[in-house]
Structure 1
Amino acid sequence: MSATRRGHGAFVFAGVTAAGVAAVAVLGVVSPEQPGHYPTCPFLAVTGHWCPGCGSLRAVHALAVGDPITALDRNPLLIALLPLLALAWLGWGLRVAGRPAGWRLHPTRVPVAAVWALFVAITTFWFARNVPGWTWLSPV
């Protein structure tokens, strides 16, 4: 990778990281529990069913204020996928810095089985949280 391209990649990586930190900071200060601050999930509004992302804003808010138990109650899938997200972010940062990660997390290099496993996990979670009586998966 050329120095110019690496510099551009580092700029993009820093920008995305700063935007993510800023978004978490805003969520830490402005609670999604209070109505009127954030829009309702469009899927929930149209169908009346939870989507896999429902409760994610409240889960991130709970993590930002140091309450992982509430975060797990709001969206357990998000909490389960956070290590994967952190690993992807770390791999990206290492690639930008010119230090290859052991397993390069690049869209063209992620094993197909891993993509299918993620798809099945999200779809199963989506279905399971809408089963009547299974409120333990609902972001109540």
Structure 2
Amino acid sequence: MLLVAIGTAVGGLYLLYGVYGIGIPCLIRAVTGLYCPGCGAGRALAAAFHGNWGIAFRQNAVFVTLVPLIVLYFLLRLFDWAFTGQNHIDRYIPNRVLIAVWIAILGFAVLRNLPFRAFAFLRPF
């Protein structure tokens, strides 16, 4: 059931972003004028669907880097739960890994909004 839901969501996103080019505007960007950590994720997803990984990475490097790891984590949890009925995966992930991920996301959000040319490549185009 979960796999059907995931497949439906991925297919719907593919149609919206990949085929029709319909994007979802960022409310944080609309209100503050700043890029949030998720800005460009929709365009990155569309580029990834078309196999343009360089463009996808350019749109949102954190999204392209973390999504495969998050998907792997949830698949491992799903299989662990399906075969054992318990969650053994979380005990192998130290808290410092989660803290490092949050620091990377927040650092990405700060750096992409700094008004210096050195960080302009972090902004979606």
TM-score class, shorter: 0.7 to 0.9
- Structure 2 residues without counterparts, runs of 5 or longer: none
* TM-score (normalizing by structure 2): 0.83
- 2:24 is matched with which residue? 39
- Provide runs of 4+ in structure 1 moved above 6 Å: none
Structure of greater relative contact order (alpha carbons < 8 Å, 6+ residues apart): 1
- Do structure 1's residue 78 and structure 2's residue 67 form an aligned pair? no
- Do structure 1's residue 128 and structure 2's residue 118 form an aligned pair? no
2:49 pairs, out of 60, 64, 67, with 64
1:92 pairs, out of 72, 77, 87, with 77
Larger Rg: 1
- Do structure 1's residue 111 and structure 2's residue 94 form an aligned pair? yes
Alignment of 1:6-45 (within 5 A): 11=1, 13-26=2-15, 27-31=17-21, 37-45=22-30
Tell me, yes or no, if the aligned pair for 1:50 and 1:138 is still in contact at 8 Å: yes
Identity %: 29
2-structure distance, mates of 1:38, 1:74: 13
Q: What is the number of equivalent residue pairs in this alignment? A: 122
Structure with bigger helix share is 2
1:55 pairs, out of 32, 37, 40, with 40
